[in-house]
């Protein structure tokens, strides 16, 4: 006999409630509760057959510590983001906008793993096997060790895994897969939670590296319950603009490596190609001697990246000026403008402010603040910046420039690309020796930075 229960789940965070609520107590989102019918039966417990073995608790001293054996792919950028390669038995979640290149990247990675004589099972719930074959032909990712399956039933997928015995599994996507013991529709909170837990048990018990592809919402977060990101070992976001050929793979969670690591790719007709020197690529079309253009040295994980910031300040006739930012936090932009108005005496209340990070990269660290202030002041005063300057530093509300971390790596990256001067916080000059051939200018306030940077 099966027992039917009706519950309401928040589609944003997975909060469970016996009745409908207008506002979610968990994530405080409005109108996100959806009614779902749960059917609890004996068949639902069938998935526990994988883990019949009873484990005993042991002392942590008796556990042998050894590094995880990794599967190193031929893609250096992917290895960097994962922390050195794929860990057998790990569960990885990859999210991104539709058409950004998630399936392309995973199909190329699958082909590269087959070159190491590893079996790969690619399961697509959105495309037929013929459509997957067409993409594989275009990417030249055809191998006898690459097995393709178009299926959405978890039980049938598990049977295929038992038959193929793969070393690497791709589920594209987790929102299309369903468990027949759960009465709700595919993509619902119950189905996503149940299917993810099922694949997690398969990955851990059998030691198979598994990748789940997740859809994203209009806000850019992975769709489904927030619990989904807590269950997996690694969460990767695939970022980029449709009109740009560059893609950024960013790790926001990684149990086997550092977080906030990025890998940069270029989308071509033959697929995704890794970019070895992203700074040189992002600065290849930079104009020299133009007001509002500044180069900033940002740290993305363990890698320094030089990116161009472009600001445009123009007079508006409307009572409330616009503040627009692409690739930078909008609230942080308003804060920098307020500091320039109060501490530098710039009258920006009747000016529209536009800020753009060239190349489609998203910068979120505080060390970008000083370069943003220099770009805005340069455009407002119509004074160009020095063409071979690199600027970085955190700006406080009193107009001071605060110190940042990993200064030596930023300076060496600027020197490698031929820049002559670096404008940075005075407090960050201690504890390291600047390289020869590049001038270091330490500043304590935004006023000092503007006097040194503007021509």
Give tens-digit pLDDT for 261-313. Answer: 888 898 888 889 998 888 888 888 888 889 999 999 999 877 899 999 999 99
As a whole number of angstroms, the distance between CA 409 and CA 424 comes to: 13
Domain boundaries along the sequence of the chain: 1-41, 70-276, 281-453
The C-alpha atoms of residue 274 and residue 303 are separated, in whole angstroms, by 15
Residue 383 has pLDDT above 90, yes or no: yes
Scanning the structure block, which residue is given the tokens 């002392």?
A: 59
* Annotated binding-site members: 96-103
Is the Cβ–Cβ distance between 417 and 281 less than 8 Å?
Answer: no
Class of residue 272 by CB neighbours under 10 A (exposed 0-12, middle 13-18, buried 19+): buried
pLDDT digits (tens, 9 = 90+) for 5-26: 788 888 777 788 888 999 988 8
Query: What pLDDT shows up at residue 46?
Result: 45
The CATH number given to 281-453 is 3.30.230.10
Annotated binding site for ATP: 96-103
Q: Which position has the token pair 């794929």? A: 86
Is residue 374 within a helix (H) or strand (E), and if so which, with residue range? helix 369-381
Segment 337-350, tens digit of pLDDT:
999 999 999 999 99
Sheet architecture: strand order including 209-214? 146-149, 120-124, 168-172, 209-214, 91-96, 234-239, 246-254, 262-268, 271-274
Domain 70-276 belongs to what topology? Answer: Rossmann fold (3.40.50)
Find where tokens 């697509």 sit: 124
For residues 142 and 181, the answer to whether their CB atoms sit within 8 Å is no
Q: How far apart are the first and last CA of the chain?
A: 81
- Residue labelled with tokens 């006097």: 451
Q: Which segments within 376-420 are labelled E, that is strand? A: 389-391, 394-395, 401-402
């Amino acid at each position: 006999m099966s027992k039917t229960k009706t519950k309401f789940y928040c589609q944003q965070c997975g909060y469970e409630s016996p009745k409908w609520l207008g506002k979610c107590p968990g994530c405080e989102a409005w109108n996100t509760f959806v009614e779902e019918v749960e059917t609890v039966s004996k068949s639902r417990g069938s998935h526990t057959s994988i883990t019949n073995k009873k484990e005993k608790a042991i002392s942590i001293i008796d556990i042998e510590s050894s590094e995880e054996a990794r599967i190193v792919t031929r893609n250096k950028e992917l290895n960097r983001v994962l922390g050195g390669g794929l860990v057998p038995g790990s569960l990885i979640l990859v999210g991104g906008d539709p058409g950004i290149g998630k399936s392309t990247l995973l199909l190329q990675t699958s082909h590269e793993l087959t070159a190491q004589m590893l079996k790969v099972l690619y399961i697509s719930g959105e495309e037929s096997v013929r459509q997957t074959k067409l993409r594989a032909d275009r990417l030249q990712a055809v191998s006898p060790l690459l097995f393709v399956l178009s299926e959405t039933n978890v039980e049938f997928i598990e049977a295929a895994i038992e038959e193929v015995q793969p070393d690497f599994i791709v589920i594209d996507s987790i929102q299309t897969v369903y468990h027949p013991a759960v009465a709700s529709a595919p993509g619902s909170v119950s189905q996503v939670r149940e299917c993810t837990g099922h694949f997690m048990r398969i990955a851990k018990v059998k030691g198979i590296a598994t990748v789940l592809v997740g859809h994203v919402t209009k806000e850019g977060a992975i769709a489904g319950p927030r619990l989904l990101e807590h269950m997996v070992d690694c969460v990767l976001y695939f970022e980029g603009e449709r009109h740009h050929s560059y893609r950024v793979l960013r790790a926001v969670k990684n149990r086997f490596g550092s977080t906030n690591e990025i890998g940069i790719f270029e989308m071509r007709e033959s697929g995704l190609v890794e970019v070895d020197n992203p700074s040189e690529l992002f600065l290849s079309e930079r104009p020299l001697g133009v007001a509002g253009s500044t180069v900033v040295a940002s740290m993305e994980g363990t890698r320094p990246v030089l990116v161009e910031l472009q600001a445009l300040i123009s007079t508006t006739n409307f009572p409330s000026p616009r503040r627009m930012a692409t690739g930078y936090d909008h609230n942080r932009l308003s804060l920098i403008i307020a500091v320039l108005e109060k501490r530098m005496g710039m009258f920006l209340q009747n000016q529209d402010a536009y800020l753009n990070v060239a190349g489609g990269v998203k910068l979120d660290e505080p060390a970008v603040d000083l370069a943003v202030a220099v770009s805005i002041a340069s455009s407002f005063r119509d004074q160009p910046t020095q063409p071979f300057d690199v600027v970085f530093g955190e700006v406080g509300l009193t107009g001071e420039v605060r110190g940042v971390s990993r200064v030596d790596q930023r300076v060496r990256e600027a020197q490698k690309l031929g820049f002559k001067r670096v404008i940075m916080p005075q407090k960050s000059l201690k504890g390291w020796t600047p390289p020869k051939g590049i001038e270091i200018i330490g500043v304590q306030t935004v006023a000092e930075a503007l006097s040194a940077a503007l021509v």
